[in-house]
Amino acid sequence: MAIKVFSFFFFVYLLVEMHEIRAMVPAVIVFGDSTVDPGNNNQISTVLKSNFAPYGRDYFGGQPTGRFSNGRIATDFISEAYGIKPAIPAYLDPKFDIRDFATGVSFASAGTGYDNATSDVLSVIPFWKEMVYYKEFQDKLRGYLGNDIANHHLSESLHLISIGTNDFLENYYPFPTRSSEYPVDKYEIFLIGIASNFIRELYNLGARKIAISGLPPMGCLPLERTTNIMHGSACIEEYNDVAKDFNQKLQDSVTELNRELGGIQLVMSNPYYKLLEMIQNPILFGFENVATACCGTGYFEMSYMCDRMNPFTCSDANKYIFWDSFHPTEKTNFILADHAFKTTLTVFR
C-alpha cells in the first residue's frame, strides 16, 4: 500500500514538473542589430566591430566579445531572467555549436536594419539573411533533437526582434535616397511592412512566442545630441517624434497580426519611455551623465574610435547611461531588460 501511495505521489510530482518545464521558455532566439548582436560582426568583413578593448571590460573575464557595450546586452539579461543561461552566443561564432544554440542564439548584426539599404551602408548582415541563418539553425536543431522535439522546442522558445534605429540614423536622414523616395511617415510604413512579413515567416516556420522591440528616444543618443549644438546639445525632438510615431504604427501592426495568426503570442516591447525616464531623471537610477558616453570624449566615438588608446574613457561606466555614442552601458541594458521582463514579457512566464 505504501508503495502504491508513493508511486501515486511520484506520478503527480512528475506531472507537475513536466507542466512547469513545458511552461518555461526553453530558449531565447534573437534577431536584430547592435542592441542584440553578441559578436556576429566579428566574423564578417565590416568596419563596424567591437571585439577589442575597452569594449567588454566589465563582461565575464573582462573580455571583448563583439557586444557593443562594456558588458552584457539586454538579451543576455533576459535569458538569465528566464533561468536559461547568462549570455546568448552569436550564431557565427565558431566557438559554439548546436549544443549551445539549442538554449539560445543570436543572428543579429550591428549596423543592420529592416531596410536592405541600411545594411549596405556598413556592409553588415541584412535582415533577410538573419532569417536564412535561422532556417539553417532549425535544420541543425532537428538533427540534434529530432523533428518532433525540435518543433515543440521552437514553438515554446521566445523569439526576440530588436531593430530599426539604424534605418533612420544611418540611412534615411544621412543619405538622400530613401528620403527622396518616401516622406518619413511612409518610410515608417515601409519598414513596418518588412517587420510584419518577417513575423509571418517566423510563424510559418513554427515560432509562436515573439516579442518585437520598438524604437528608443533616438534623438537623445549622444551622437545625435552632439550634432545639435545650435540648441545646446539637447535631444533632437524631431527624431524622438519619429520614434514615437513608428512605435504606435508597430503596436497597431502587432495587434493586427495577433488577430491574423492563430495561436501566436506576439507582443511589442517599448523601450522608449523607460530610457527617456532614465535620461530625464538620472539620479533615480544612480546615473550622473546622460548627454555624453563613457567611452572617449563621449560625443562621437563608436567602434574603432572607441579603443584602448583613447585617454578620455571614464573609469566607472555605471555612472553613465551610454557606453559609446550610440549604445547603452551594461547597467542601462540591465534596467531595460528587467523592465521588459517584468512588464511586456510576463505573458511568456
177 occurs within a structural domain: yes
Q: Give the pLDDT band of residue 17 (cuts 50, 70, 90).
A: very low
Tens digit of each residue's pLDDT (9 = 90 or more) over 293-347: 999 775 666 776 787 777 789 999 999 999 999 999 999 999 999 999 999 999 9
308 occurs within a structural domain: no
Q: Where are the alpha helices (DSSP H) in the chain?
A: 2-23, 74-81, 98-101, 116-121, 127-145, 147-156, 165-166, 176-181, 184-204, 222-226, 237-260, 272-280, 330-342
pTM over 0.85: yes
34 occurs within a structural domain: yes
183 occurs within a structural domain: yes
Amino acid at 161: I
Left if phi > 0, otherwise alpha if psi is -120 to 50, otherwise beta: which for 164? Answer: left
Strand order in the sheet with 158-162: 104-106, 28-32, 158-162, 209-213, 265-269
209 occurs within a structural domain: yes
- The set of cell numbers assigned to 309 is 588608446
132 occurs within a structural domain: yes
Decide: 198 and 257 in contact? Cβ < 8 Å. no
**Residue 105 φ/ψ, nearest 5 degrees:** -155, 150
% of the chain beyond a pLDDT of 90: 85
- Alpha-carbon gap, residue 67 to 37, rounded angstroms: 6
DSSP state of 90: B
Whole domain around residue 173: which residue ranges? 23-271
In a 13 Å sphere around the CA of 303, the CA atoms on its Cβ side amount to 11
Q: Which residues are catalytic?
A: 34, 324, 327
Q: Is the pLDDT of residue 11 over 90?
A: no
316 occurs within a structural domain: no
**Measuring CA to CA, which residue among 71, 118, 77, 88 is closest to residue 27?**
88
The number of distinct structural domains making up the chain is 1
Q: Is the pLDDT of residue 13 over 80?
A: no
230 occurs within a structural domain: yes
Tens digit of each residue's pLDDT (9 = 90 or more) over 166-223: 999 999 999 999 999 999 999 999 999 999 999 999 999 999 999 999 999 999 999 9
Compute CA distances 171 → 77, 180, 275, 279, 346, whole Å: 29, 12, 23, 25, 34
Decide: 32 and 108 in contact? Cβ < 8 Å. yes
- Alpha-carbon gap, residue 317 to 118, rounded angstroms: 30
Query: Can you tell me the mean pLDDT for 31-48?
Result: 97
Q: Say which CATH number the domain at 176 has.
A: 3.40.50
